[in-house]
Amino acid sequence: PITLDQERLAEALEDRVVLITGGGGSIGGELARQVCRFRPSRLVLLGRGENSLWAIEQELRRDFPGLPLALELCDIRNPHRLNQAFQRWRPEVVFHAAAHKHVPFLERHPEEAVENNIFGTRNVLEAARNAGVRRCVNISTDKAVNPANVLGVSKRIAEYLVLEASRQAPAGTRYISVRFGNVLGSR
């Protein structure tokens, strides 16, 4: 268990537009549930799975009535659509949780890890920069430490992209990566 600084989180999220990529996924959905507690001015869930977006939308509308909520059916591999969504909502905080995470599938289909986890992350970072995002948190994996599989390598490269975006970002802007271990109940 991790103890979070609730005051600093409230400061970072309250009355801010927050966008979550992979918003319908198990990690993105849990991030959405947690973010809602800090009363953002709007929560934007972006993802390509229409059924999972619909399900989390129903849950959040029930549990957080009155919270301004927007959904963007969008694939992070499509830079044009991604830029449209970022320009429309102008998020201040982004949690980038969209990724392929299934180790055996990615071993069999490494090109999908490159397309989604690497190029998709690059697209998110460019859209964030173009929209003036102040905080961008990339959700990575412990498998990026001394990577031994395609998932780990693709997420390690994504971390390097975030690090480079951070170096090029204007003063006061933070782009960071956090590594999760295996997530219980993850899809």
List % helix, strand, coil for the chain (3-state, nearest 5).
50, 20, 30
Tell me whether residue 143 is one of the annotated catalytic residues: yes
Contacts of 11 (CB under 8 A, 6+ apart): none
- 8 A C-beta contact, residue 85 and residue 59: no
Provide the residue count of the chain: 187
Q: What is each CA distance from 151 to 23, 95, 161, 168, in whole angstroms? A: 20, 19, 15, 26
DSSP state of 47: E
> Which residue is catalytic, options 16, 143, 155, 156?
143
Place of tokens 């219980």: 184
**Residue 127 structure tokens:** 């859209």
Residues recognised as catalytic? 143
